[in-house]
Amino acid sequence: MIDVSTALHILQSNTSVPAPAMLPLQEATGFTLAADVKAPRNMPAFRQSAMDGYAFDYAAWDKISPLQIASEVAAGATKVMSLLAGQAARIFTGAPMPEGADTVVMQEKTSVTDKQLHVLDTALQAGSNVRPIGSEIGADELALPAGTLLTPAATGLLAALGFTNVAVYPPPRVSIVVTGNELQTPGLPLAPGQVYESNSWSLRAALEPWRIKEVTVRHAPDDPQQIVAALAAALEEADILLVTGGVSVGDYDYVAQSLTACGVETLFHRIRQKPGKPLFAGRKEDKIVFGLPGNPSSVLTCFYEYVRPVIAWRMQHPGHDSSIRKLPLTHDHEKPPGLTHFLKARSDGQEVTLLTGQESYKLNTFALANCLVALDADRGQWKAGEEVAVHFIS
Ligand SMILES: Nc1nc2c(c(=O)[nH]1)N[C@H]1C(S)=C(S)[C@@H](COP(=O)(O)OP(=O)(O)OC[C@H]3O[C@@H](n4cnc5c(N)ncnc54)[C@H](O)[C@@H]3O)O[C@H]1N2
Ligand code: MOO
């Protein structure tokens, strides 16, 4: 059995980064830029007023006399007008500055009588309230470096620069295979001995924040031939395959041998951890396969601790480690030394409380958790106030 850090190391060294894909900008938010993006033009491309007000030539103004309002320029105006000394133009936010004007006074800081403009802004300086050409980004300058996560702001910036497609690391295609004779689809009647199938639901929900939309779900009973058939079909169409159940030592646990039969090379099977000790990981070409121990809480814990990092590495998602923080425990805690424990917990960002109901068949407290606390394998006792590793999951 290997330890948690070795398992993560093995996964990292077996995760390959896909070739970048050009995606329509609207589909690329949440993904990471695969290439530097240079500004194709100055932004702003022309001198713009930053306020609704009046534009004029500051140097030509004697600071006392009123200016004569000679013209008007609105946003979108295509003609660039010229102003003479002593003249001002009515102007609006985003409108092109007239030739001969370098300063805008806000309309609230003026008085106008008979087309005569009195400037009342004593703090006004040459260049006030004007957005110079290229003051956001100059032509050919780096707008966003490769490795930037496309936030809504980054998406907006690329649109503002005129891009409609962008090179990103594409999300993996994910296939889920749930195994078990006892599983029934929610919504259908439950026969004696059956449980509602929930693992594919929690996994699909956990994939959603990654904007992974290509997810297929198959259900295989505990029959080696049918499991092999489902796995083979899933491997055809997936970059990451998530199998749940059937990875332990029971007589009906066929998943590891079925994956081998499908040509999956075992990376590891069993980790010194609780929950999720029977976790299986394998590889076929560039595809990573997880055999997630079927208990619903183990499935999600292993998703957050192992599948999530693989997705993040694959998608070159920056700042993945920022979901891990050290925070003090609110209460004492004891566990037997030997296994790393991942405990459902809730944190307000200042401290962290372990929840009750840690058994791996229980999702009820997981549903209230916003983090998992990782407790070292070799230790057995923690005091309130002691800092522990908190892995935020939302
Ligand atoms: N003798 C031993 N027995 C078990 C061991 C062990 O080391 N020795 N490990 C236990 C641990 S820990 C876990 S975790 C489970 C994992 O076993 P499997 O991966 O083989 O999972 P199953 O037996 O198929 O299912 C376990 C449990 O989860 C329920 N389940 C499974 N799939 C779903 C689903 N899609 N939706 C809802 N619930 C599901 C299933 O009904 C079982 O109750 O093995 C322990 N046993
Ligand atoms: O590894 Mo199991 O998850 O403890 O039930």
- Identify which of 244, 272, 277 to mutate to test ligand 2's pocket (most ligand atoms within 8 A of the CB): 277
Evaluate whether 4-18+170-317 and 322-392 have a shared fold: no
**Residue 101 and residue 25 in contact, taking contact as beta carbons nearer than 8 Å:** no
| φ/ψ of residue 308, rounded to 5 | -55, -50
90, 92, 97, 100: CA torsion to nearest 10: 20
The encoded tokens of residue 322 equal: 């920022």
At residue 259, the pLDDT reads: 97
- Identify which of 298, 300, 303, 363 to mutate to test ligand 2's pocket (most ligand atoms within 8 A of the CB): 298
Residue 294 Cα to ligand 2 middle (Å) = 8
As a whole number of angstroms, the distance between CA 150 and CA 29 comes to 5
Q: Which ligand is nearest to the CA of 341?
A: 2
At residue 78, the pLDDT reads: 87
Fold entry, domain 48-131: Molybdopterin biosynthesis moeA protein; domain 3 (2.170.190)
SS (H, E, C) the chain: CECHHHHHHHHHHHCCCCCCEEEEHHHHCCCEECCCEECCCCECCCCEECCCEEEECCCCCCCCCCEEEEEEECCCCCCCCECCCCEEEEECCCCECCECCCEEEEHHHEEEECCEEEECCCCCCCCCCEECCCCCECCCCEEECCCCECCHHHHHHHHHCCCCEEEECCCCCEEEEEECCCEECCCCCCCCCCEECCHHHHHHHHHHHHCCCCEEEEEECCCHHHHHHHHHHHHHHCCEEEEECCCCCCCCCCHHHHHHHCCCEEEEECECEECCCCCEEEEECCEEEEEECCCHHHHHHHHHHHHHHHHHHHCCCCCHHHHEEEEEECCCEECCCCCEEEEEEEECCCCEEECCCCCCCCCCCHHHCCEEEEECCCCCEECCCCEEEEEECC
The encoded tokens of residue 365 equal: 């407290």
pTM: 0.93
The encoded tokens of residue 106 equal: 């806000």
What distance lies between CA 276 and its chain's CA centroid? 25
At residue 252, the pLDDT reads: 84
Amino acid at 56: F
Q: Which ligand is nearest to the CA of 360?
A: 2
The encoded tokens of residue 228 equal: 């092999």
Report in angstroms the alpha-carbon separations of 254 from 86, 180, 194, 251, 298: 88, 10, 19, 8, 18
At residue 249, the pLDDT reads: 83
Kindly give the confidence (pLDDT) of every residue in the chain, 394 residues in length, as a single tens digit, with 9 standing for 90 and above.
Answer: 999 999 999 999 999 999 999 999 999 999 999 999 999 999 999 999 999 999 999 999 999 999 999 999 999 988 777 999 999 999 999 999 999 999 999 999 999 999 999 999 999 999 999 999 999 999 999 999 999 999 999 999 999 999 999 999 999 999 999 999 999 999 999 999 999 999 999 999 999 999 998 899 999 999 999 999 999 999 999 999 999 999 998 888 899 999 999 999 999 999 999 999 999 999 999 999 999 999 999 999 999 999 999 999 999 998 766 689 999 999 999 999 999 999 999 999 999 999 999 999 999 999 999 999 999 999 999 999 999 999 999 8
Q: Which ligand is nearest to the CA of 182?
A: 1
Q: Which residue lies with its CA nearest to atom 44 of ligand 1? A: 248
As a whole number of angstroms, the distance between CA 192 and CA 181 comes to 12
**Residue 301 and residue 276 in contact, taking contact as beta carbons nearer than 8 Å:** yes
Residue 277 Cα to ligand 2 middle (Å) = 6
User: Which residues lie with the beta carbon below 6 Å from any ligand 1 atom?
Assistant: 178, 180, 182-183, 195, 197-199, 244-250, 253, 275, 277-278, 293-296, 298, 360-361
Fold entry, domain 4-18+170-317: Molybdenum Cofactor Biosythetic Enzyme; Chain A (3.40.980)
- Domain 322-392: top CATH class: mainly beta
Q: Which atom of ligand 2 is nearest to the CA of 360?
A: 5
- Domain range list for the chain: 4-18+170-317, 21-43+151-168, 48-131, 322-392
